[in-house]
Homo-oligomer: A and B are copies of this chain.
């Protein structure tokens, strides 16, 4: 059986590298072949899971520098039937690509907003005068480079090879340990794994209500590895809270905590119980 994997394309993106990483893991561990299905956006990658065009979507959830990828959280909340199957982290090493060898002649730098954000100190120091132009992916603007010798792009070494573009500088990310966590998103719920992701909304966003909801886990020694708030999109000041817990859905103290959380919360949505694949 061949497993189809949707990801943010085109070829050469970090999302493609992540999908290949998971595809190879599937091949070794589950003796399954994989097929890459590049998509124009993260939300279309997730939507292709809902419409059953693909088996899984491989989507970024969080970067160590730029933080949460909002579109992934928002789509998980809105599309109740998307489930997290696994997680894994890949290192991100950004390169400056250009057909112009002289840094002084570069006037514009293209890349995905997250990549521009991850290299902001390097850019400020080395290219303080350039115009930064956000693009839909780290590879989208690469085809423009040969036509315009005053332009550069931030992308991966792999993309440089694929698009036959010279690398001017390597590892230009502000932190050497820059990495991005990806999720494998499907349609079925796992019932076992080391981590649980869920989100909830509160009827009244008072400090009391949020602290009570978090205490439910603290009192049972359930460790919270992440908390993130997102707007409900209804009115300013109303939030959803996304939690990542350490534990399994079959554990009775986790079941008890979730049952109590449901009393405090307006809505609770469990995205799945999953484990992380080690690199």
Q: What is the interface of chain A, defined by CB distance below 8 A to chain B?
A: 40-41, 43, 62-67, 70-71, 89, 113, 117, 120, 131-136, 174-175, 177, 179, 181, 205-208, 210-211, 214-215, 217-218, 222-231, 233-237, 239
Contacts and interface: CB of A to CB of B under 8 A. Distances in A.
Contacts of A235: 64, 177
Chain multiplicity (copies): 2
A92 to B, nearest CB: 11
Contacts of A224: 206-207, 210-211
Contacts of A71: 117
A206 B245 CA distance: 10
Chief secondary structure at chain A's binding surface: mixed
22 contacts: A40-B131, A63-B231, A64-B234, A64-B235, A65-B231, A66-B231, A67-B70, A67-B230, A71-B117, A134-B134, A175-B233, A177-B235, A206-B223, A207-B214, A207-B222, A207-B223, A210-B227, A211-B224, A214-B214, A215-B215, A226-B237, A227-B227
A226 B120 CA distance: 27
B211 A207 contact: no
